[in-house]
Copies of this chain bind each other. A is one copy, B any other.
Amino acid sequence: MADIFELPIKVLFQHCDPAGIVFYPRYFEMVNQTVEEWHELGLDYSFARMHSEDRRGVPTVSIGAEFSAPSRLGDVLTWRLELIRLGRTSAHLRVTALAGDELRMVATPVLVCLDMDSGRPVPWADGVRAAMSKYLAAQ
A116 CB contacts on chain B under 8 angstroms: 19
List residues of A (11-35) whose CB comes within 8 Å of B's CBs: 12-14, 16-21, 23-26, 28-29, 32-33
A17 CB contacts on chain B under 8 angstroms: 13-14, 16-18
B62–A65 touching, CB < 8 Å: yes
A74 adjacent to chain B (CB < 8 Å): yes
Copies of this chain in its oligomeric complex: 4
A101 adjacent to chain B (CB < 8 Å): no
Secondary structure at chain A's binding surface: helix, strand, loop or mixed?
mixed
- What size tier do the contact residues of chain A reach? 35 or more
List residues of A (31-47) whose CB comes within 8 Å of B's CBs: 32-33, 36, 40, 46-47
